[in-house]
A and B are shown apart, each in its own frame.
Chain A
Amino acid sequence: MSLLTAIFYYMAFACVASALLAVTRKNPVHSMLWVLALFLHVAGIFLLLNAEFLAAVQIIVYAGAILIFYLFVLILLDVPEEVARPRFGRHWLFAVAIGLSFAALAALARVETLDPEGVRVAPTARPVAAVGPPQGSLEEIGMALFGPFALPFEIASLLLLAAIVGAIVLAKRKAGGA
């Protein structure tokens, strides 16, 4: 087992463990910190999979912005009262069954059709002097983003604008007390 393989399996195990702890801890702040660990380990897997730019975006946007936003709103609420509440609804066994049926997808993902000969492009086996930038580089992502993905890119910016306006409208205190 090579070093990269060992690191990948450590990262995957740590992801699963921190996700499990995140959804089962009683204190919401502890859950947030375990989700932070999960995001950092997912960023580590991205690094192993030649997605350096996405790893940086994952840390900056997910761990840095979105999670801190969640923590701010969590602190606005009464954390000790949330700790005293029951964690799970009465139907939690049903939720376990749903989760296990999704986890059956993990078994299906081991089907050999995912790794056929000929489709596999081993990243390490790619010639260095191949035409174009190396796979996963920022230049390649940028060319895709502003080339064939230009329209989805603009729609994403419109979506973010709508989300900003919507969040302000939702969180604003109504003047008339309506």
Chain B
Amino acid sequence: MVPVSAVVGSSAVLFAIGAFGFLARRNIILMLISAEVMLNAVNLSLVGFSWHLGDPRGQVLALFVIAVAAAEAAIGLGLVIAMNRNRPGAGVGDLTSLKW
């Protein structure tokens, strides 16, 4: 099988793509989806190290990350719905009321 550095490397590339998407996209739902991509990258490296070291605790931590991702999705999309009620659309470019 592959060395663990291949797993961690692909995890880092996935995290980079997620970070780019979170910073560059102007749609709030796609920003949240990019955050999910980053969380998946972290899960990948946790499982990779768990496999490498023969330790199940990495998989347990990945399970917790999935639970936190579910909570984040619920809260984030609740915020999107509340925002959409006041101002239609999911663009973040016109959300400037907190800008000084």
Contact = CB atoms under 8 A, between A and B. Distances in A.
Interface of A: 2, 4-5, 8-9, 12, 15-16, 19-20, 22-23, 28, 31-32, 35, 38-39, 42, 45-46, 48-51, 53-54, 57-58, 61-62, 65-66, 69-70, 73-74, 76-78, 81-82, 85-89, 91-92, 94-96, 98-100, 102-103, 105-111, 114-115, 119-124, 126, 135-136, 140-141, 144-145, 148-149, 152, 156, 159-160, 162-164, 166-171, 173
Interface string B11-55: 111111111110111110110111011001001100110111110
Interface of B: prevailing SS: helix
Contacts of A114: 3-5, 8
12 contacts: A28-B30, A42-B43, A58-B43, A62-B69, A69-B74, A89-B25, A98-B23, A102-B15, A103-B12, A103-B16, A122-B1, A145-B63
Given A28-B29, A88-B26, A114-B4, A57 B18 contact: no
Nearest to A50: B51
B26 A171 contact: no
A-B pairs, top 6 by smallest CB distance, nearest first, are A23-B21, A99-B20, A170-B78, A163-B71, A95-B23, A121-B54
Contact of A106 (B12, B40, B69, B84): B12
A126 B60 contact: no
Contact of A38 (B15, B40, B74): B40
Contacts of B73: 66, 69-70
Contacts of B1: 2, 4-5, 8, 48, 122-124
A115 B70 contact: no
Contacts of B17: 16, 19-20, 23, 99
Nearest to B29: A74
Contacts of B9: 106-107, 109-110
B23 to A, nearest CB: 4
Select the residue from B54, B63, B66, B80 with max chain A CB neighbours within 10 A. Answer: B63
Interface residues of B, number: 73
Given A57-B63, A170-B75, A51 B47 contact: yes
Interface of A is mostly: helix
Contact of B27 (A5, A82, A95, A96): A82
Interface in B51-69: 51-54, 56-57, 59-60, 62-64, 66-69
A15 B14 contact: yes
A167 B78 contact: yes
A152 B89 contact: no
Given A9-B2, A77-B90, A99 B33 contact: no
